[in-house]
A and B are shown apart, each in its own frame.
Chain A
Amino acid sequence: MTIDANFFLELFFHQLGLWWVVIPSIFLGLIVGGIPGFSAANTIIVLLPFTFLMEVEVGLVFMIALYCSSRLGAGIPAILVNIPGTAGAAATPLDGYPMAKQGFGQRALSISFVSSILGGLLTTVIALITMPWLARVGFYMHSVEMVVVMLFGISLIASVATKDTIKGLIAGFVGLMIGSIGADHVYATPRGTMGFLELYDGVPLIPALVGLFAISEAFMVIESGSFLSKDRVQQVQNASWAETFYGVKLTLKRWFHVGWTSLIGLVIGVIPGAGAAIASFVAYQQSRAFSKTPEAYGKGHIEGLIAPEAANNGVTAGTLIPLMVLGIPGGATAAIMMVVMQYQGVPTGPGLFTERPDLGYGVFMAMFVTYLLMSFTILPMSRYMSRVTLVSTVYMSPIIIAFTLVGSFVPREYMFDMYLAFGFGVLGYIARKTGYHVAAILIGVILGPLLEQYMLRALKMSGGDATVLFSSTLGNFLWVILIATLVLPSWLNKKKAKSEQ
């Protein structure tokens, strides 16, 4: 079989012919992505028997469409009601929710959809072209380099707390301490577990996410009675299709921003175990660092919404590259896809592209088609979805509490996780009432254990010698970029202010 333009064109139309699988999967993905605790991975697990019954090609298309749309779906409640559906969307409400509160929910959704779709399309094309080279990124990213990548994300703690840096740092470090709960990675010594066996594996992410964002938000909005002020209600009621198109226009104008932030997602997605949460935090931090208006971030900045959404959709193509090219799954969903492929007798790794190129390249083409179809199916829904913010908190608060508590129960099916989510809810409520940023706590909880894991691995291999963190060329290069992105923007701003004076 010749791999040329004709082959890709035929593959495209073939995958487009499977629209009857793609479109229902998109809607299913939107639902599971939007409910905290549910994800593409656990939905595919539930529906695994069906995928075994399907033809392998149809099964893969179903899983890909579900995977891509759940990433996009997680951003919808994050923007409208400040509840990220997954950890990958945890950076989305930083600017998405303030936009919705200002009455621009429809515009924010449109920006989120377009940046997700563009990011997804772009990274899929790049993945198709650069697969053999990108697959090697994982080999070069060792524990030392990963420590620096984690620090990129953690440095966001200081950025989100622009109002009061010291309070932001306290919140971030409290999060890092909470994230350290659990058995240590080498000798499995229990640490800070308060005797709860359920915490030996560490603090589960979904209860932390649900509690800090959803439950505390539900308690907060009761005070005001509505998500929006009276004049904003009028604004949302009167919003026309023009708002959606304006959002599309604003995003297309920032095509370069969408491009480079989605590339961050693609590269981080290739690294096994890294994932969408790290990608979106790193992209947000980088976007802010190089912005001309960093002070506007956290208040409803368009680029602050584009960056995490483009990045977490860039991750989808990235996580599939090691699976397809090397036979190593880059994430939970990719691992389940591998199970289905092996069950159907399809090889993964280099053999896939020689024996079944239609499947190897077809997976990425299915991703391309999914994102393309999403632009026609999801984008028009932004107008109606944004009406959620008009629903009275009398109804919304109990619904948020009951459904998100179930979401926190789902991943491990422990009642303890529901209590934990409530505990995080109280912590988040106190933090909000006293001026601490809950996102800073969450960044600590998500990235803390990963940082520890990589740092310990590096130190263990070097026999406890901390200089190992500066021993690799790529690592040192990343250190320089990290320091540059932290120092350069403020230095340039000061220089600019001086020259203006």
Chain B
Amino acid sequence: MSEKKTQKNTKPNVLGEMIIPLFGILFTSYYFFTIIDSPWTAQVNAFIVGSILFLICALFFIRKFHAVRVNRAVCMLKYDRLLPAMRTRQTGFIILTIGYLLFVELLGYTLATIIFFFSSMSLLDGGQKMAAKFTLSIIMAGVGYVVFILLFETRLPEGLIEKILQEGLK
């Protein structure tokens, strides 16, 4: 009985593998929708590439469906594993990255980068050596400011720190 259970657990779950082909099918369908009334020059490439993609995805699904049918693979969403898998430092880091993207315009490049560096480094190693991390965050964001804004004159979002530094440099 326990052997059977272990066997069941080691079978590959093909659900994750379906994401990219499903994304491909959905995107291609949407793409076809946008060119349906367009001239042939806008359609020819997409219809060739998209049709081949549909064909390959169909073959892929048939193969996976067959593997599930003959009991060589499983296709299921494991709710009991989903929540613990999401409660990781990785998820926290992804959320911090989204936060950085949302707030960089509001706070300006330098301040947002200092906060992002400090919070993500603290999150990733469990909040050790906070002072060293804070100093490193300021240094790295400073390097970014000098290289990207001062040297290469990139028009990154400006905030309080950039305005103070610009006044100071004047």
Contact = CB atoms under 8 A, between A and B. Distances in A.
In this complex, the member of A176, A397, A398 whose beta carbon has the largest number of chain B beta carbons within 10 angstroms is A398
Interface residues of B, number: 59
B contact face: mostly helix, strand, loop, or mixed? helix
Given A46-B153, A455-B45, A184 B120 contact: no
A468 interface: no
A434 B42 contact: no
A231 B93 CA distance: 27
Interface in B89-128: 89-90, 93-94, 97-98, 100-101, 104-105, 109, 113, 116-117, 120-121, 124-125
A173 B60 contact: no
B51 to A, nearest CB: 10
Given A192-B27, A436-B20, A184 B101 contact: no
B35 A169 contact: no
A429 to B, nearest CB: 8
Interface of A: 38, 42-43, 46, 166-167, 169-171, 173-174, 176-178, 180-181, 184-187, 189-194, 215, 219, 222-223, 392-395, 397-399, 401-403, 405-406, 409-410, 413, 415, 418-419, 422, 427, 430-431, 433-436, 448, 451-452, 455-456, 459-460, 464
In this complex, the member of A43, A176, A455, A464 whose beta carbon has the largest number of chain B beta carbons within 10 angstroms is A176
Contacts of A402: 100, 113, 116-117, 140-141, 144
Nearest to B149: A406
A contact face: mostly helix, strand, loop, or mixed? helix
A433 to B, nearest CB: 7
A180 B120 contact: no
A368 to B, nearest CB: 29
In this complex, the member of B42, B90, B148 whose beta carbon has the largest number of chain A beta carbons within 10 angstroms is B42
B63 A191 contact: no
A171 B49 CA distance: 12
Contacts of A186: 39, 41-42
A365 B141 CA distance: 40
A459 to B, nearest CB: 7
Contact of A174 (B20, B38, B124): B20
Contacts of A431: 20
B121 A398 contact: yes
Contact of A187 (B31, B41, B63): B41
Interface stretch (B2-10, B69-77, B154-162): B154-162
B53 A415 contact: no
Given A167-B17, A222-B89, A409-B154, A187 B60 contact: no
Contact of A415 (B40, B42, B46, B157): B157
B125 to A, nearest CB: 4
8 contacts: A38-B152, A177-B28, A187-B41, A192-B27, A192-B46, A392-B125, A403-B144, A418-B101
B164 to A, nearest CB: 20
Given A180-B45, A191-B34, A192-B30, 12 more contacts: A176-B53, A177-B28, A184-B39, A186-B39, A186-B42, A192-B34, A395-B121, A399-B117, A415-B157, A430-B16, A448-B49, A464-B40
A434 B117 contact: no
A177 B152 contact: no
A189 B34 CA distance: 9
A423 to B, nearest CB: 10
Contact of A176 (B16, B49, B98, B148): B49
B155 to A, nearest CB: 5
Given A166-B59, A166-B60, A410 B41 contact: no
